[in-house]
Amino acid sequence: MNRVTVFRPALILSIVAILWQSVPLQTIAQRKKTRKDIPAPQTTRKHNPNLPNVVILATGGTIAGAGTSSVGTAYTAGQIPIESLLQAVPEATKVANITGEQVAQVGSQAMNDEVWLKLAKRINELAKKSDVDGFVITHGTDTQEETALFLNLTVKTDKPVVMVGAMRSATAISADGPKNLYDAIVTAASPSSKGRGVVVCMNDNLFSARDVVKVNTTNVDAFHAPNSGPIGFVLDGKVAWYSLSLRKHTTQTEFDISNVDKLPKVDILYGYSNVDPNLVDALVNDGTKGIVIAGVGNGNLYPAVEERVKAAVKKGVVVVRSSRVMSGRTTMDAETDDKVLGTIASDEFNPQKARVLLQLALLKTTDQDTIQQMFLRY
């Protein structure tokens, strides 16, 4: 065999290899491009016409977290895709036809306005489809209560929207994610869950998005509603509801985010003895539109802070008084007089939740009385 005959087949082979590689690359690129145009979430399972259809919108969190040790608490949130999570709960396929979509894949400490808006818009879009009966949102637990409230105030559907997370990673001994996910799917698939606003399903309990708070950093019993308790329970694959909030939510709210792509800047200022009042000015100078004070007791402010707050309100910044105390209301014109300060009382909303409502309120108005009424209505 001379050099030419060896060289030619090698050349032809490498050309074929290059072409072969470029074809799938192109196809993947095309698929990515057209993916946005496909409205329905994806599934690999067989459709059962007798079961309700539940869409899972995944955002990450511990429920999708992977660790290097099954006994340790160190892990990275948001590592495991939704399809793999579902493999841990094969029972769920007997309850609903499940389709999944990965909206984000982050620990919820990284949650932001952009993902909130994307989630709410996607739910509103899918809720219009007659073949979608309910939603499950998988989410990290750190900021779950904020996303829950945002959705509770912005999704426009009576169909169940159930948020779920986990306190132990998917690779830990006795992971709580699979049970919580199963319970959430059961809840989203149940017609009895309609019209209850967004609910959070954790550790057998169902909480209203309005009232739920993370109360423990590591325990599986990490979610409570300190002012009202759970509104329902899931046990043995069955949902039981016990109460219904009279506060407005979902289809009953005035908030329409369909054309919103940015939320107003609202910041939280923590109250404590000897707080530096310059912090108020720092926020105002940074261009904040609203400040939530995590006040002491019934939303009280350090005297020097009161003075700076009055000045900030005069400049057009909207200030809400909430409390750093875990339970109870922050009431109007109590020890701190809102009429004098020009402030708004948060009622039962904790500072991080008051921030969500103030962001939405500021899309509509800066009027103190109008926003105060919103805090009493939602």
Ligand X SMILES: NC(=O)CC[C@H](N)C(=O)O
The span from the CA of 79 to the CA of 61, in Å, is 8
Per-residue mark of binding to ligand X, 250-289 (x: CB under 6 A): ----------------------------------------
CA distances from 47 to 54, 88, 185 (A): 11, 19, 16
108 binds ligand X (CB under 6 A): yes
Task: Determine, following the binding rule CB under 6 A, whether residue 177 of this chain makes contact with ligand X.
Answer: no
CA 235 to the chain's CA centroid = 24
Which is closer to ligand X, CB of 53 or CB of 143?
143
Owner of token pair 């005297």: 303
Binds ligand X (CB under 6 A): choice among 43, 62, 154, 250: 62
Closest CB to ligand X: residue number = 140
Positive or negative, the Cα torsion across 342, 113, 284, 309?
Answer: positive
Stretch that binds ligand X, among 126-134, 139-147, 234-242, 304-312 (CB under 6 A): 139-147
The residue among 61 and 178 lying less far from ligand X, judged by its C-beta, is 61
Residues 149 to 168 in contact with ligand X, rule: CB under 6 A: 165, 167
- Coil vs helix vs strand at 175: coil
Least distance in angstroms from the C-beta of 127 to ligand X: 25
Q: Considering the complex, what minimum distance in angstroms separates the CB of residue 137 from ligand X?
A: 13
Rounded to 5°, the CA angle 215-348-270 comes to 65
Where is 353: in which H helix or E strand? helix 351-362
Residues forming the active site:
62
**Least distance (Å) from ligand X to the CB of residue 179?**
14
**Contact (Cβ atoms closer than 8 angstroms) between residue 57 and residue 122:** yes
Sole binder of ligand X in the list 133, 142, 146, 306 (CB under 6 A): 142
Q: Is 141 annotated as a binding residue?
A: yes
Residue 111 · residue 147 · CB < 8 Å: yes
Q: How far is CA 278 from CA 282, 292, 297, 299, 355, in A?
A: 6, 15, 22, 19, 20
Task: Please check if 108 is assigned to a binding site.
Answer: yes
DSSP 8-state code for residue 364: T
The residue range among 16-24, 92-100, 105-113, 326-334 that interacts with ligand X, by the rule CB under 6 A, is 105-113
Contacts of residue 123, Cβ cutoff 8 Å, sequence gap at least 6: 57, 135, 151, 155, 157, 161
299 binds ligand X (CB under 6 A): no
Q: How far is the CB of 342 from ligand X (least distance, A)?
A: 35
List the interface residues with ligand X, window 191-250 (CB under 6 A). none
Matching residue, tokens 């319970």: 183
Rounded to whole angstroms, how far apart are CA atoms 343 and 295?
Answer: 12
Q: Cα separation of 169 and 187, whole Å?
A: 22
Region of 27-35, 136-144, 224-232, 288-296 interacting with ligand X (CB under 6 A):
136-144
Binding-site residue total for ligand X (CB under 6 A)? 11
Contact status: 190 vs ligand X (CB under 6 A): no
99, 141, 288, 336: which one binds ligand X (CB under 6 A): 141
Residue 233 and residue 183 in contact, taking contact as beta carbons nearer than 8 Å:
no
Scanning 18-26, 116-124, 140-148, 232-240 for contacts with ligand X by CB under 6 A, the matching segment is 140-148
* Annotated binding-site residue? 330: no
Return the range that interacts with ligand X (CB under 6 A); candidates 93-101, 104-112, 122-130, 336-344.
104-112
Tell me whether residue 258 is exposed, middle or buried, using C-beta atoms within 10 angstroms of its C-beta: 0 to 12, 13 to 18, 19 or more.
Answer: exposed
140 binds ligand X (CB under 6 A): yes
Of positions 22, 73, 109, 373, contacts ligand X by CB under 6 A: 109
Nearer to ligand X by Cβ, of 141 and 193: the residue is 141
Q: Which backbone phi and psi does 293 adopt, to 5 degrees?
A: -95, 120
Q: Interface residues for ligand X in 2-61 (CB under 6 A)? A: 61
Task: Read off φ and ψ for residue 43, nearest 5 degrees.
Answer: -145, 155
* Residues near ligand X, by CB under 6 A: 61-62, 77, 107-109, 140-142, 165, 167
Binding residues for substrate: 108, 141-142
Binding residues: 108, 141-142
